[in-house]
């Protein structure tokens, strides 16, 4: 088999590795020896094994002693010194461009770092306890909606035993390890504020978590106890979060367990102090009240931890549904009960949008948006760097030529340039980290998150960040280094070295930047438009100067109302039906003589004063004026629906019956809750503009018999005095619950809080990336102009006009800009439209606006280029012609 005349060549790539690594003086002999060994192996073993042995033998040479010039005076150290010196000289020579590079990279890295932190913050939500993947929230499917909470068997009037029926039965299922329930005081299903008093301090006590299953709750969520414990005793007590504890007991060095605490004058013993729940959890509380039965509510949020390895959710859900049906009177016959679903805990924070969510959760679209912007900024940063570096380095051909002439090889040149870019990114990273440190508080404030600096600089994160940054350095340094290093020697010193091709990588990168900037600018513009539209444009009702105050109790309300109306700045006082609501449960209904049952309508109760202050228009209000106690109005959408399903005209709908909850049949045979239709009212945005108009059944009362909130229409010119008047009036009639008031404008803002936050960030980052791209462009134009100095001088000598010269110089940029915007406009349309589909009511996308943005972008680009070129055309043509460069 061995045939000395017939050689197989060893594989090429280990040789390349060796060439790259080894000292040139040693290389030939080593390669020869390896080659010889391979030939010997090839005669003795299979080709595969020979290759493997060759590879192993080669790898063994990757040791320091064989590395390039490790011995003598020209060692690694002095070479690095040389790299460093050249780098600094080069930075100094190109101050403008180096500064743009440095600033751009720093900002880009800072933005990327923050995006990274932000993403992590949201992706690790609700993962603070062990086995978070085994924890589920039990949600209830009823009608066509999903409730995030379960109801108690007898709603409000459920005893302790009743409240625990479902929980205990869930816990007995073999699939379930633990089951617990709680309600939080500011949730939609409790909606109360409390005064909390301890250590002689009486303050508004932020969210209170009420639970009657404290131990189970703790074994599911595993909160960190600082003092005390969720002890197993039947007596009631509270656990206080460390944040709040320090508010009530600021100087307490000792344990506060055993101290007394009052919630609305009800006394509790403090049983422990718990570390405040992480900010990215999907609910928040300051206090845990461990009570026998959960007060002021008709249901609770229910969580279970499934047994290990339990994957069969379907069976578990079915058995849980059986349990809830068994315990709720009449549920068995209720066709509207559709079942219960186990929702994974980790899915809640990212966009769960059911009824009565504990917090408005982050729509994952925004997370992706954020990620995309982070990537865009980083890409602009890198392309800036690559572009500018190629531009500067075009001037360094001679330097490279001389290096090569005195014995530098490809790798030396490559390493020099990579070294420079690594140096730049490392300096930028330091500046960028500084920027993150400074910007983080503002960022946290505007996005309402708690990103921590200490998390970023933890060893694990930081090593990742540094690694990633170096990668950025290598990516951005690679291309410029590569094209210079590979250029053959002759091309470097000959005059042809700087010749330009029309569409090289540089042009593509430049075009890409223009493309991103135009897309981003268009998107930011429409985000802004849409936000203005949803909050500022016509809502179908008057919202100016309407204040809503949390309030309960008819007797107190009458006193309160009388007090308020004595103030001439207060125009009207009413109750119920405040718009800008978050969604709540719909009702089933049918129209008279029509069999179809629908379930897409919401019921609204308001008094006449509220209807008037909202500017609702209906001819049926006359009935109230003439002494009728209450009237039923359909909004436009409901009326149209009735017209369509019945085929009757609008006038014939009056005095027909609307039957709500037709599934309920009274003992006397009445079906549902019928009421006569008295009139119609315009469509108005009762919910957010994300929702389309749905049928509303509005009952307008002369006086609402139950009070859940007060609406006050006031003159806004002496706002401060009027507000304190209202607060005083409130304090006179209501001593138990604190004063909570909001203008409708603020409610609207809250309704769109997510959009507000995101639009702020999109605008800021959009502006930043535009600035970055523009800075890069200026640098590029500056260099391009400099390179053309000689050409310009010759043209000028031959009689060219400055205007003509500018045209020539800016032409390349103009062509690139045009092509990029042609691509950017359709992409922007796509992106904007896909975002706008989140809203049922949205602004129209006008392609001309995008074209205008693109045109503006090109104009700015053009002016930038012209500005830089103009300097070149103004210099004395003798100067560049004389110089040898």
Give the nearest distance from C-beta 29 to other proteins in angstroms: 4
The secondary structure of 450-479 as a DSSP string is ---HHHHTSHHHHHHHHHHHHHHHHHHHHH
Q: How many CB atoms lie within 10 A of CB 8?
A: 12
As a whole number of angstroms, the distance between CA 581 and CA 700 comes to 18
Pick 6 or 882: Cβ nearer other proteins = 6
Q: Which of 2, 3, 65, 200: binder of other proteins (CB under 8 A)?
A: 65
List Cα–Cα distances, 18 to 481, 733, 861, in angstroms. 20, 88, 47
Q: Which of 21, 55, 66, 195: binder of other proteins (CB under 8 A)?
A: 66
Q: Which of 7, 160, 398, 871: binder of other proteins (CB under 8 A)?
A: 7
Buried b (16+ CB within 10 A) or exposed e, 633-667: bbbbbbbbbbeeeeeeeeeebeebebbbbbeeeee
Please work out the total of residues on this chain that contact other proteins, with binding judged by CB under 8 A. 23
Checking 435-443 for CB contacts under 8 A at 24+ apart, the result is: 435/106, 435/107, 435/110, 436/110, 436/113, 436/114, 436/117, 439/110, 439/114, 440/114, 443/114
Q: Whose structure tokens read 């103004």?
A: 874
Does 526 engage in binding with other proteins (CB under 8 A)?
A: no
Does 60 engage in binding with other proteins (CB under 8 A)?
A: yes
Give the nearest distance from C-beta 60 to other proteins in angstroms: 4
The CA dihedral of 144, 145, 147, 150, to the nearest 10 degrees, is -10
* Residues 768-827 close enough to bind other proteins by CB under 8 A: none
List Cα–Cα distances, 479 to 149, 414, 598, in angstroms. 57, 10, 64
Give the nearest distance from C-beta 31 to other proteins in angstroms: 5
Q: What is the DSSP letter of 297?
A: -
Nearest to 754, CA basis, from 499, 582, 511, 515: 582
**Strand, helix or coil for residue 576:** strand
Q: Which of 16, 24, 36, 617: binder of other proteins (CB under 8 A)?
A: 36
Give the nearest distance from C-beta 21 to other proteins in angstroms: 12
Q: Which of 2, 3, 4, 92: binder of other proteins (CB under 8 A)?
A: 4
Does 697 engage in binding with other proteins (CB under 8 A)?
A: no
The secondary structure of 824-862 as a DSSP string is HHHHHHHHHHHHHTT-SS-PPP-HHHHHHHHHHHHHHHH
Does 67 engage in binding with other proteins (CB under 8 A)?
A: no
Pick 40 or 692: Cβ nearer other proteins = 40
Give the nearest distance from C-beta 277 to other proteins in angstroms: 59
Q: Which of 11, 21, 37, 191: binder of other proteins (CB under 8 A)?
A: 37
Does 57 engage in binding with other proteins (CB under 8 A)?
A: yes
Does 54 engage in binding with other proteins (CB under 8 A)?
A: no
Pick 7 or 650: Cβ nearer other proteins = 7
Does 638 engage in binding with other proteins (CB under 8 A)?
A: no
The secondary structure of 122-175 as a DSSP string is HHTTT--STTGGGEEEEEEEETTEEESSEEPTTGGG--HHHHHHHHHHHHHSTT
Does 28 engage in binding with other proteins (CB under 8 A)?
A: yes
Pick 60 or 89: Cβ nearer other proteins = 60
Only one of the segments 55-63, 347-355, 455-463, 869-877 lies at the binding site for other proteins (rule: CB under 8 A); that segment is: 55-63
Percent helix, strand, coil in the chain, to 5, is 55, 15, 30
- Judging by DSSP bridges, how do beta strands 208-211 and 287-290 pair with one another? parallel
Give the nearest distance from C-beta 16 to other proteins in angstroms: 14
Q: Which of 8, 20, 24, 33: binder of other proteins (CB under 8 A)?
A: 33
Nearest to 400, CA basis, from 493, 480, 496: 493
Q: Which of 11, 21, 35, 409: binder of other proteins (CB under 8 A)?
A: 35
Pick 27 or 257: Cβ nearer other proteins = 27
Only one of the segments 62-70, 357-365, 402-410, 654-662 lies at the binding site for other proteins (rule: CB under 8 A); that segment is: 62-70
Does 739 engage in binding with other proteins (CB under 8 A)?
A: no
Only one of the segments 27-35, 572-580, 741-749, 873-881 lies at the binding site for other proteins (rule: CB under 8 A); that segment is: 27-35
Only one of the segments 60-68, 255-263, 711-719, 754-762 lies at the binding site for other proteins (rule: CB under 8 A); that segment is: 60-68
Residue window 100-129: x/- pattern of binding to other proteins, with contact defined by CB under 8 A: ------------------------------
As a whole number of angstroms, the distance between CA 553 and CA 737 comes to 12
- Judging by DSSP bridges, how do beta strands 337-344 and 135-142 pair with one another? antiparallel
Only one of the segments 58-66, 348-356, 495-503, 654-662 lies at the binding site for other proteins (rule: CB under 8 A); that segment is: 58-66
Q: How many CB atoms lie within 10 A of CB 474?
A: 14
Does 9 engage in binding with other proteins (CB under 8 A)?
A: yes
Pick 73 or 234: Cβ nearer other proteins = 73
Does 29 engage in binding with other proteins (CB under 8 A)?
A: yes
Q: Which of 11, 19, 31, 79: binder of other proteins (CB under 8 A)?
A: 31
Nearest to 559, CA basis, from 737, 701, 707: 707
Only one of the segments 32-40, 134-142, 185-193, 312-320 lies at the binding site for other proteins (rule: CB under 8 A); that segment is: 32-40
Does 2 engage in binding with other proteins (CB under 8 A)?
A: no
Pick 72 or 329: Cβ nearer other proteins = 72
Only one of the segments 65-73, 129-137, 235-243, 451-459 lies at the binding site for other proteins (rule: CB under 8 A); that segment is: 65-73
Give the nearest distance from C-beta 35 to other proteins in angstroms: 4
As a whole number of angstroms, the distance between CA 288 and CA 270 comes to 10
Q: What is the DSSP letter of 278?
A: P
Please give the span between the terminal C-alpha atoms of the chain, in angstroms, as a whole number: 63
Nearest to 287, CA basis, from 245, 251, 336: 245
Q: Which of 17, 19, 21, 30: binder of other proteins (CB under 8 A)?
A: 30
Strands of the 741-743 sheet, one edge to the other: 570-575, 709-714, 546-550, 741-743
What is the contact surface with other proteins in residues (CB under 8 A)?
A: 4, 7, 9, 26, 28-37, 39-40, 57, 60-61, 63, 65-66, 71
């Amino acid at each position: 088999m061995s045939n000395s005349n017939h050689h197989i060549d060893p594989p090429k790539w280990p040789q390349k590795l060796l060439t790259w690594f080894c000292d040139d003086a040693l290389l030939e002999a080593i390669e020869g020896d390896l080659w010889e060994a391979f030939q010997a192996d090839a005669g003795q073993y299979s080709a595969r094994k020979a290759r493997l042995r060759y590879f192993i033998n080669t790898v063994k040479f990757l040791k320091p002693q064989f590395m390039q010039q490790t011995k003598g005076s020209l060692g690694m150290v002095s070479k690095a010194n040389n790299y460093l010196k050249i780098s600094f000289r080069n930075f100094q020579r190109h101050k403008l461009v180096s500064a743009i590079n440095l600033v751009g990279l720093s900002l880009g890295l800072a933005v990327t770092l923050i995006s990274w932190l932000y993403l992590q913050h949201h992706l690790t939500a609700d993962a603070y306890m062990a086995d978070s993947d085994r924890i589920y929230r039990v949600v209830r499917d009823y009608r066509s909606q999903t409730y995030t909470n379960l109801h108690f068997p007898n709603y409000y009037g459920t005893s302790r035993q009743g409240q625990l029926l479902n929980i205990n039965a869930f816990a007995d299922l073999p699939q379930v390890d633990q089951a617990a329930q709680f309600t939080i005081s500011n949730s939609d299903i409790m909606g109360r504020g409390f005064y909390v008093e301890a250590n002689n301090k009486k303050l508004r006590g932020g969210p209170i978590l009420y639970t009657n299953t404290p131990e189970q709750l703790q074994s599911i969520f595993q909160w960190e106890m600082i003092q005390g414990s969720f002890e197993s005793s039947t007596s009631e007590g509270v656990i206080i979060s460390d944040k709040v504890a320090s508010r009530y007991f600021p100087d307490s060095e000792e344990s506060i367990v055993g101290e007394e605490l009052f919630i609305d004058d009800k006394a509790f013993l403090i049983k422990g102090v718990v570390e405040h729940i992480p900010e990215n959890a999907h609910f928040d509380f300051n206090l845990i009240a461990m009570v026998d039965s959960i007060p002021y509510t008709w249901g609770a949020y229910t969580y279970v931890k499934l047994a290990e390895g339990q994957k069969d959710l379907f069976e578990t859900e079915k058995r849980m549904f059986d349990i809830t049906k068994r315990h709720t009177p009449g549920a068995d016959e209720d066709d509207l009960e559709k079942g219960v679903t186990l929702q994974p805990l980790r899915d809640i924070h990212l966009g769960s949008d059911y009824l009565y969510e504990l917090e408005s959760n982050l729509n994952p679209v925004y997370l992706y948006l954020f990620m995309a912007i982070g990537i865009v900024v980083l890409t602009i940063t890198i392309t800036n760097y690559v572009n500018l570096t190629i531009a500067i380095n075009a001037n360094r051909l001679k330097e490279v030529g001389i290096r090569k002439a005195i014995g530098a090889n490809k790798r030396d040149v490559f390493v020099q340039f990579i070294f420079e870019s690594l140096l730049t990114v490392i300096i930028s990273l330091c500046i960028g980290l500084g920027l993150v440190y400074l910007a983080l508080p503002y960022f946290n404030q505007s996005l309402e998150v708690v990103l921590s600096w200490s998390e970023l600089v933890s060893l694990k994160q930081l090593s990742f960040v540094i690694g990633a940054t170096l990668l950025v350095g290598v990516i951005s340094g690679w291309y410029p280094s590569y094209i210079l290093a590979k250029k053959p020697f002759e091309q470097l010193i000959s005059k042809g070295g700087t010749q330009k091709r029309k569409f090289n990588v540089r042009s593509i990168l430049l075009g890409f930047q223009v493309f991103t900037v135009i897309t981003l600018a268009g998107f930011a513009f429409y985000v802004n438009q849409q936000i203005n539209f949803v909050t500022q444009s016509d809502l179908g009702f008057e919202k100016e100067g309407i204040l809503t105050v949390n309030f309960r109790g008819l007797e107190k309300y009458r006193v309160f109302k009388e007090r308020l109306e004595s103030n001439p700045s207060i125009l009207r006082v009413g109750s119920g039906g405040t718009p800008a609501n978050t969604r709540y449960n719909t009702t089933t209904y049918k129209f008279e003589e029509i069999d179809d049952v629908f379930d897409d309508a919401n019921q609204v109760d308001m008094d006449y004063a509220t209807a008037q202050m909202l500017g609702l228009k209906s001819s049926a209000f006359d009935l109230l004026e003439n002494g009728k106690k209450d009237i039923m109005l359909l909004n436009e959408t409901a009326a149209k629906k009735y017209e369509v399903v019945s085929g009757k005209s609008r006038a014939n709908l009056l005095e027909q019956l609307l039957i709500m909850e037709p599934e309920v049949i009274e003992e006397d045979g009445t079906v549902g809750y019928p009421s006569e239709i008295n009139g119609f009212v315009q469509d108005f945005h009762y919910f957010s503009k994300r929702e389309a108009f749905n049928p509303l059944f509005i009952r307008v009362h002369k006086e609402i018999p139950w009070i859940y909130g007060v609406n006050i229409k006031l003159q806004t010119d002496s706002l401060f005095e009027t507000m304190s008047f209202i607060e005083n009036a409130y304090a006179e009639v209501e001593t138990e619950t604190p004063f909570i008031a909001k203008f409708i404008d603020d409610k609207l803002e809250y309704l769109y809080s997510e959009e507000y936050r995101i639009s702020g960030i999109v605008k800021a980052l959009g502006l930043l990336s535009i600035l970055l791209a523009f800075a890069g462009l200026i640098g590029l134009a500056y260099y391009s102009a400099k390179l053309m100095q000689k050409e310009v001088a010759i043209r000028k000598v031959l009689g060219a006009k400055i205007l003509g010269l500018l045209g020539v110089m800016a032409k390349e940029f103009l062509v690139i800009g045009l092509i990029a915007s042609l691509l950017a406009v359709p992409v922007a349309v796509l992106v904007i439209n896909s975002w706008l589909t989140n809203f049922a009511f949205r602004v129209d996308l006008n392609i001309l606006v995008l074209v205008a943005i693109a045109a503006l972008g090109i104009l700015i680009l053009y002016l930038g280029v012209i500005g830089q070129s103009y300097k070149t055309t103004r210099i004395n043509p003798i100067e560049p012609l004389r110089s040898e460069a």
